Structure 1
């Protein structure tokens, strides 16, 4: 399905440094979650990873099986420049919706909100397909009114429940208590387990 947010759109965002969503580090709600993960062997995917400070954080804390996929090549190069030892074959330049590997955990951080809302059902289905049995999708979703203008596009708990419950058991969906200041009161932390 063709949308206005294609590879050229995202490449231009990075080449023009129009990356207002990029905070320069892994956000507190995610690092708090990462600190609770005890299995360092988890196979983890970060889709639409951008500059992917989350991958850098995880590898720096002993996780070995981290993969990043992005439709834009520049942020993958940026990660490799910052973290030269990051395995090349774990940096996937491609379309998430064409990806076919299986994972224990997929992390959501500003990917869902950057997609054209017409892709949301396809996103939920694809996430379920990429997860192994009992795999989890976890991370952050924005909690503000869905807008026509974006990215980011908003959403609400009730809309997310309606979208994801067909594919996932909702383990957690709650307002973040530890968002960074610009996102305070506008983020939901979630853990969804594949049905």
Structure 2
């Protein structure tokens, strides 16, 4: 089969793609490694930021917050070595998650920033396992910017588990569903090293 030349996204991914778990999911890393893998990609993002020549001083001044907060989070969950399962508090229902998710945030509004939206999504994925209902509870039902965290978590969950456990009512009438399914198939095929 004919292979297409790489797209601009494949040649030079934008830095925000490094902050989302689908980047790790696409490359097949185990879930508990995603956080540490994210930190390992940050030198690439820093190279991009400095070579872009756009707002470099401002970006460099704020740079350390992101890795420091992610290192803190990984330590909280016992994932700083990138191995083994996460540690959650013994009681971690919606009220406890709301309190904890605010500690992830920059200003008390959980999920509104580039570091904590993927962090909450990742936390939801770690806690939900293969349960769509539990993922929704953890990623979508909190007092912060829950639509952002739910979209990130749902994207990752779908990449890992597909639609088989998702109630049909959640996706049957989705706008552009056919386009999304086609794009997902192409991404899946591309992740296997093939082309369509």
Q: Normalising by structure 1, what TM-score?
A: 0.35
Structure with greater strand share of residues: 1
Larger of the two Rg values belongs to structure: 2
Structure with greater helix share of residues: 2
Q: Normalising by structure 2, what TM-score?
A: 0.35
